[in-house]
Amino acid sequence: MLQYNEYYNERTGLTVGIRKVLFSRQSEFQRVEVFETDTWGNLMVIDGMVMLSERDEFVYHEMLVHPALATHPDPKRVLIIGGGDGGSAREVLKHSSVEQVDLVEIDVTVVEAAKSWLPDVGAFDDPRLHLYVEDGIDFVKNQSGSYDVIIVDGSDPVGPAEGLFKASFIDACHNALRSDGVVSLQSESPWVESYHTGMRGVWNALNSTFTHSEVFLSWIPLYPGGMWSMMIGSKKIHPLEPDVLNRSGELEKNLGSLSYYNRKVHQGAFALPNFVAEIFIDRDE
């Protein structure tokens, strides 16, 4: 009997029953695998870490995208760093204000595996989507005031995604955004202590670079601990301003096919349990 096991705390982790291995390739950057599971649909794993399953990916992608796009008053140009499975692009493209999405994925293998084995996840055929297979960090560093929203949909902070958690990258995002720009990024599980230093580092970088910065949470069963943190940095508008909440209510009515995000979820996601808030208290490391 096949099983996928991911150990994120010594001998503690996640087990998923596997029916078959659909895809397994060592690319120039990482090992990319897709499994057919018993209960979660097809599951993509990179370097032994769950990226998404067909059944729970909506939580991650809706929450990485919609709080940020609701915060911006009129998002037209959106940049996605990573996100080669296309799920974040699918959510961004639900917004009718969006005219252009640049998706920059370092590893074409992720795109190929997703197109073949997670065909309902991505929205690769939308003419507003432009796919670049190159290093997202270099791409961002070459932009200045070009985007309304940047979505950082990287893997975990080991391997090619490590740089996405560095202060220099957050600075580059700030520079790549227009004057009312917003960045949204995934920032790991509050339950995995080995990630706390990295989480605090990104938070400190956002906090010292953007006018507003907030951490928010969602619940994703196949990610370590089931609780996942994300962060927003915004140059002008706070993600909980009344206008943002109104926009969020409009999106709830107009975007269609939302399975997680709504106005109340937007508001509630920024309420942090004490043990999570404490992770971000600076301890002079």
| Residue 105 φ/ψ region, left for φ over 0, alpha for ψ in the -120 to 50 degree band, beta for the rest | beta
Among 40, 203, 223, 261, binds ligand SPD (CB under 6 A): 223
User: Mask: binding to ligand SPD, 71-90, rule CB under 6 A, as x and -?
Assistant: ------------x-x-xx--
Distance CA 225, CA 181 (A): 31
Which of 51, 113, 151, 199 contacts ligand SPD by CB under 6 A? 51
Least distance in angstroms from the C-beta of 145 to ligand SPD: 26
Query: What angle do the packed helices 242-254 and 57-71 form, to 10 degrees?
Result: 130
Q: How many residues of this chain bind ligand SPD (CB under 6 A)?
A: 14
155 binds ligand SPD (CB under 6 A): yes
User: In this chain, which stretch among 152-160, 233-241, 243-251, 260-268 interacts with ligand SPD, using CB under 6 A?
Assistant: 152-160
- Tell me how far apart the alpha carbons of residues 80 and 142 are, in angstroms, rounded to a whole number: 15
Q: Is 156 in the site for ligand SPD (CB under 6 A)?
A: yes
**C-beta of 83: minimal distance to ligand SPD in Å?**
5
Q: Does 170 bind ligand SPD (CB under 6 A)?
A: no
- State how far the Cα of 271 lies from the Cα of 277, in Å rounded to an integer: 9
Tell me if 84 sits within 8 A of 156, measured CB to CB.
no
Q: Which of 16, 45, 49, 98 binds ligand SPD (CB under 6 A)?
A: 49
153 is known as an active-site residue: yes
The three-point CA angle 58-223-156 to 5° equals 100
In angstroms, the CA 136 to CA 150 distance is: 11
* Residue tagged 């339950």 (tokens): 191
Annotated catalytic residues are 153
Residues that bind ligand SPD (CB under 6 A): 49-52, 60, 83, 85, 87-88, 153, 155-156, 186, 223
